[in-house]
Amino acid sequence: MEEYMSAVVCHGPEDYRLERVPKPKPGKGEVLVKVLAAGICASDVKCYRGSPRYWGPPKPYVKAPVIPGHEFVCRVVEADPEVAERYGVKPGDKTVAEQIIPCWRCRFCLRGEYWMCEEQRVFGFQGGLNDGAWAEYMLYPRGSIIHKVPEDIPDKWAVLIEPLACAIHAVERADVKLGDYVVISGMGPLGLCMLQVARLRGPGKLVALDLREKRLETALKLGADEALNPKEVDVVEHVRRETGGYGCDVYIEAAGSPSSVVQGLRMVRKLGRFVEFGVFKEPVTVDWSDIGDGKELTIHGSHLGPYCYPLAVEYIRTGRVKAEPIVTHVFKLENFAEAIKYSEYALDGAIKVLLAPPGTRLWEEAL
């Protein structure tokens, strides 16, 4: 007899529905897990609103219908023995899987650069291939990269493992050196994680930028030396003044805003390092002459969190990265529409918003 579960199903922009769908059945090389909690990412919100980045030509990223959700923590229900042995997991273990499911065949996967896999199968975007975690149960498909999560990490904080892994990768791309003047733009969940990781690299000064005062306050609590609102302060002139007219050594763009990009390129010093992490709704235009002939900048993109999950787990477990100030709201799965609004508009000071499926510990205390 077929079993059913509750899940949020994306049928198109702003057409998300709570439905009863068949509970997934694991096949060869797959793992069935019970979702303990799932996060709402800025990319989920942009997808919900119909951003061309996800729905537009020439190669739409989203294939509906699909169950969203690529930030999660789960408990193993049933695992293929071969997979269980490879990753050391068994029924009852708490786990996460990396957000991308590599094909392990393309040139990038074969060179160990799996996070740039040509197929780009990320949980929660391509229906029928890799449904995500906004549901009671989900599958880790064949080829998934699985990590165990210590039981002493609360489910509420464990959802931050995926964003933190991405943050670690971005800071590694920035190559922050001792004494560097570092600016991070965007104090959402990712930016607040980057801030804490960058602090561990020993910068001379660490500056946080955001348009929301509550998030700037949180940034100061989590290690920023200064937290500035570009609407209230000419942040480019401020940084130049503090650095003798040179500009910052490192600028990490985590706001996903065109103005944040232009601001950063003006702010960073000659021969400085600029890391682009944010995802945009539409193309951004900048002065490439300034990047090359004017400053000879080092520009890095940053995508996902390759090889960073074990470190993310350890940072949260030991408290070197604090999750509690970042994870602010938990909603029942059935209240997903309200949860999306809280995430999108930072209602009630929301930073990271979670969804709790029925039958979980967090569901009992969720909104």
Q: Residues 329, 330, 334, CA angle at the centre, nearest 5°? A: 135
pLDDT confidence of residue 64: 93
Average pLDDT value over all residues in the chain: 96
pLDDT confidence of residue 362: 95
Distance CA(89)–CA(148), nearest Å, equals 7
Could you tell me the pLDDT band of residue 135, with boundaries at 50, 70 and 90?
very high
How many distinct helices (H) and strands (E) make up the chain?
14, 15
pLDDT confidence of residue 198: 98
Could you tell me the pLDDT band of residue 277, with boundaries at 50, 70 and 90?
very high
Residues near 220 by beta carbon (within 8 Å), at least 6 away in sequence: 208, 227
Flag whether pLDDT at 55 surpasses 90. no
pLDDT confidence of residue 173: 98
- Alpha-helix residue ranges (DSSP H) falling in 253-308: 258-267, 288-289
Q: Quick check: 149 and 88 in contact, CB under 8 A?
A: no
Kindly give the pairing relationship between strand 137-140 and strand 146-148: unpaired
pLDDT confidence of residue 1: 76
Q: Percent of the chain having pLDDT more than 90?
A: 92
What's the average model confidence in pLDDT over 182-201? Answer: 98
Q: How many residues does the chain have?
A: 367
Flag whether pLDDT at 309 surpasses 80. yes
CATH of 169-301, one of 3.40.50.1400, 3.40.50.300, 3.40.50.2300, 3.40.50.720: 3.40.50.720
pLDDT of 63-96, one tens digit each?
999 999 999 999 999 999 999 999 999 999 999 9
H/E element, 241: helix 235-242
pLDDT confidence of residue 60: 78
Flag whether pLDDT at 52 surpasses 90. no
Stated pTM of the model: 0.96
Q: For residue 11, how many other CB atoms are within 10 A of its CB?
A: 13
pLDDT of 214-253, one tens digit each?
999 999 999 999 999 999 999 999 999 999 999 999 999 9
Give the residue from 245, 301, 291, 300 showing the smallest Cα distance to 271: 291
What's the average model confidence in pLDDT over 113-130? Answer: 92
Domain boundaries, the chain: 4-160+326-365, 169-301
What's the average model confidence in pLDDT over 297-323? Answer: 98
Orientation angle between helical segments 161-174 and 189-199, nearest 10 degrees: 50
Token pair in block for residue 189: 């969940």
Q: Which CATH class is domain 4-160+326-365?
A: alpha beta
CA distances from residue 119 to 59, 353, 361 in whole angstroms, order as listed: 11, 29, 35
Within 13 Å, how many C-alpha atoms sit on residue 258's CB side? 7
pLDDT confidence of residue 367: 86
Tell me the sheet residues that pair with 4.
22
What's the average model confidence in pLDDT over 251-271? Answer: 97
pLDDT confidence of residue 349: 96
Could you tell me the pLDDT band of residue 127, with boundaries at 50, 70 and 90?
confident
